[in-house]
A and B are shown apart, each in its own frame.
Chain A
């Protein structure tokens, strides 16, 4: 089993350490911490990919350092009336942003199930979060494999 990166592992531990109602409260706090898109992306929604598996509109994109560790930056956009979706995006942002591409690619696909929310949330929701992670990993591997331009 691959290891979670430290920041993400800590978030998972925080979720697992509390009761279910508190987990939902924690997810709400994450949703409120999701950063706004930087202007260069906010003005160009076409640069973002929609995660159609999410129950509410969620768009994401990544940037990868051209050389070195190929560190990954993550960007998400979701409306305020979609707190669950925003919460998941924010967990991934805080857990993965700034990590080397290899660490992002090593995150297990079932990581969303480790948050202890499988009873409180519907399977649809958790699949939405898995889809976010899957699309991030796919975008990262495409960038890493692309020949240097």
Chain B
């Protein structure tokens, strides 16, 4: 019983317009049955300052991760989390958040690991909703616990691990971090603290396309033509390519994964969530410093 797709004409050029909803669409559907709105932010106090009426908070740090296994929650954990948030396997889930939906895209990617069928992003996220003067509330909705099946997480389709990055050499990779991180000048985001990565640089042969290039000023995604100019033009991707995207811990690259997979229609895009915190520190793992992508390491690639 999915909700109708947002027929907003600005989405129609995208490969999968059913993955986005506009603020207009959400405002009209706020009280529609079977819709669950989730807020996923970087700043975990923002939800409590006011959120879209009826929205439930999801915390990427404490709810989607399992710190003991350095992994995402397993099938049972995800089922319990969904049930607590009133989500069923048939729910239409709309996720939004701060910073151009950066953490919302990350949550959506985790939902996709569990094959949740109808999960969409609110284009423009929290900032756009608020900038348009739409209603926000501090009232937390009362959620009725639902029942959600235990689905085994599928890490094969949209997730890459370090050994698979080696196997991938010779095919395109996108590094979505800032150019200072890419060149190795710094190992963390500008204005963010050092995180203890030993080496600065990038994975050999990866192209640099900072994630925010996919976002317009108002936090919405750029048009298909603009995205094609960036990813097919500047970054040199060809339709049908297998692509791996990475960043520092996999959150910014989820935003790029979303753009490549659902807006441009690449069918084989994987997010390497170990990203630079793993690659930059791993033993016998080559890196390249500077602005040039660098060559595929000897012995790898086609």
Contacts and interface: CB of A to CB of B under 8 A. Distances in A.
Nearest to A130: B193
Contacts of A124: 192-193, 195
Contacts, number: 49
Given A53-B193, A81-B98, A124-B195, A119 B44 contact: no
Interface residues of A, number: 26
B44 A120 contact: yes
A131 B43 contact: no
Nearest to B43: A84
A18 interface: no
Contacts of B42: 55
Interface in B48-72: 48-49, 61-62
A80 B45 CA distance: 11
Contact of A28 (B49, B191, B192): B49
Contacts of B44: 24, 84, 120-121
A31 B46 CA distance: 11
Interface in B4-48: 42-46, 48
B62 A119 contact: yes
A128 interface: yes
Contacts of B195: 124
A27 B45 contact: yes
Interface string A16-55: 0000000011011001000000000000000000001111
Contact of A81 (B46, B48, B191, B193): B46
A82 interface: yes
Given A119-B62, A120-B62, A122-B61, A83 B43 contact: yes
Interface string A86-109: 010000000000000000000000
Nearest to A25: B48
Interface string B230-243: 00000000000000
B258 to A, nearest CB: 22
A138 B43 CA distance: 27
A126 to B, nearest CB: 10
A27 B61 CA distance: 17
A143 interface: no
Contacts of A56: 43
Among B45, B46, B61, B127, chain A packs the most CB atoms within 10 A around the CB of: B45
Contacts of A119: 62
A54 B98 CA distance: 16
A131 B45 contact: no
A57 B43 CA distance: 13
A127 interface: yes
A128 B193 contact: yes
A131 B188 CA distance: 16
A28 B48 contact: yes
B56 to A, nearest CB: 14
A128 B127 CA distance: 23
A83 B193 contact: no
Contacts of A54: 191
A65 to B, nearest CB: 32
Contact of B193 (A24, A28, A131): A131
Interface string A120-141: 1110100110010000000000
B191 A57 contact: yes
Contacts of B45: 24, 27-28, 31, 83-84, 87
A11 B261 CA distance: 48
A102 to B, nearest CB: 28
B60 to A, nearest CB: 9
Given A81-B43, A82-B43, A84-B43, A55 B192 contact: yes
A54 B191 CA distance: 7
Nearest to A31: B45
A85 B44 CA distance: 11
9 contacts: A25-B48, A28-B48, A53-B193, A80-B49, A83-B43, A83-B46, A84-B44, A84-B45, A128-B193
Query: Nearest 7 CB-CB pairs, A to B?
Result: A83-B45, A53-B193, A127-B193, A28-B45, A84-B43, A84-B45, A28-B48
Interface of B: 42-46, 48-49, 61-62, 98, 127, 191-193, 195
